[in-house]
Amino acid sequence: MAEQTFRTLMRTTDVVVTATISPVAVAAIGLADLYARVPLWIGLGMGGGAIALSSQDTGASETPRTPDVGGDGDTGATDAGVARADANRDQAISAALLVGALLGLPFVAFGVLFGRGAIALLGAPPEVARLGGTYLAIVFATAPARHVSLVAARSLQGTGDTRTPMYVNVVANGLNIAGSVALGLGLYGAPDLGVVGVGLATAAANVFTAVVLTAALRTGWTDAGVVRPSDPVVARQLVAVSAPAVAEGLASTLAEFPLNAILLGFGTEVNAAFQIGRRAYQQVTSPLSRGYNVAASVVVGQALGDGDPIRARFEGWATAALGLCTVGGIGLLLTVGADAFVGAFTDDPETARYAVAFARVYGLTAAFLVVFVVLQGALRGASETRVPLVARTSGLFGFTVGFTYLAGVVLGYGVVGAYAGIALAYVWMALVLTVSFGRSDWAGRAARMMAERGSLTED
């Protein structure tokens, strides 16, 4: 949660800095970030596969051996089984790092060759396209490093080590914040580079994080390590778990384009208000939600690796309940204090009026969203990433986009349709995962996959 707080603060700082520069700068980075979410979701998807396998294999390798009181040679986990689980964990981490780095290379070429055109394709004016294209090229140049840093962080978290990624990411995001302010605004003797400076700060933080986390894996700082990927079963399972998670993220990004187009049709102030309302919500709730998401993956995955599906199920429900009490409560506070939160982002009366309404919608539905996020992590710890893909995709396109268009455009309810569409999407997504976590055989799926790769340590 501490790690995610700094990450969210960094993104908020970028918004504030670019708003100080000019409205053109805000638009340039905002449009570029629509594309920048693609490598982000790929890295998170690959990291999801890594955390699933690493948490399960860590649980398997830590299954306690008991004295052979019966004289039959049954001591629980075998030394060979523990070694196999450790080897599988390192294979999964290493394969994820390699695939993540390779998948980042096309973005480097895209940013250099098509960055400006991609921004212009969204209807941006020439100056916005120029600045946005430059920013996108700089950030995409470090896409391989961004993928590696996300995979390495999730891999370490899967082993139960959430502190090392926190230390590294807090330092990296702190440097990113300082760099954005100094280079973006030309403070403290730094050159005034504007949008370019903000992009350079983000790129430098990506490289720093990737280098330090990779070094932690290679130098024995952590229990996990980096090896030459050579096990096709582990690699195939990694792809099977990661692919739906990547697709889920890409679907989420894709849905942003028609949604923003619909909101722009309601007015520029409405679109700006949506961005501000969502940012206010994310700043106060996302760190907790994402922390619970990772925690659920770790405790469920390790319980399954330990051969205890009953404990895994309890851990998932308990984490969801904790998220419901905390994030749900914060959401209610946001609903009450929406005016104050929004006032920190804009002083335009029309924009603020809509932004307060969006913030209240997010606040009232925070309980549903956190249940979805936590159970998504729990299912990921069991290697089940297909159901969250279905839930998010159907919710976004069926309600956030589909219902918003139907109610807001076709039926003429305007922005009220957007409020309802967003709320219904979160309710639907939470309902689907609640039913799935309660009834589907995710524990059996995890056990079969562990048996296939030889990570079960029982005689």
**How far is Cα 93 from Cα 275, in angstroms, rounded to an integer?**
35
Q: Which residue has the higher pLDDT, 442 or 457?
A: 442
pLDDT single digits (tens) 334-361: 999 888 888 877 777 888 898 899 999 9
- Backbone dihedral angles phi then psi of residue 215, each to the nearest 5 degrees: -65, -40
pLDDT digits (tens, 9 = 90+) for 235-271: 888 889 989 988 998 898 889 889 988 988 888 788 8
Residue 76: the pLDDT is: 47
Q: Are 376 and 241 in contact (CB under 8 A)?
A: no
Higher pLDDT, 70 or 315: 315
Rounded mean pLDDT, 260-288? 83
Rounded Cα distance between 189 and 278, Å, is 34
- Percentage of residues in the chain having pLDDT higher than 90: 40
- Quick one: CA dihedral 341, 342, 346, 349, positive or negative? negative
Q: In this model, does residue 65 exceed pLDDT 50?
A: no
- Give the residue with greater pLDDT, 27 vs 100: 100
Q: Where are the domains of the chain?
A: 1-64+75-243, 255-454
- Closest alpha carbon to 216 in 162, 260, 253: 162
Q: Count Cα neighbours of 401 within 13 Å in the Cβ-side half-sphere.
A: 18
| pLDDT for the residue 72 | 45
Distance CA 405, CA 407 (A): 6
Q: How far apart are CA 33 and CA 25, in angstroms?
A: 12
- Count Cα atoms within 13 angstroms, Cβ side, for 46: 28
Q: What is the pTM of this model?
A: 0.83
Per-residue pLDDT at 397 exceeds 90: yes
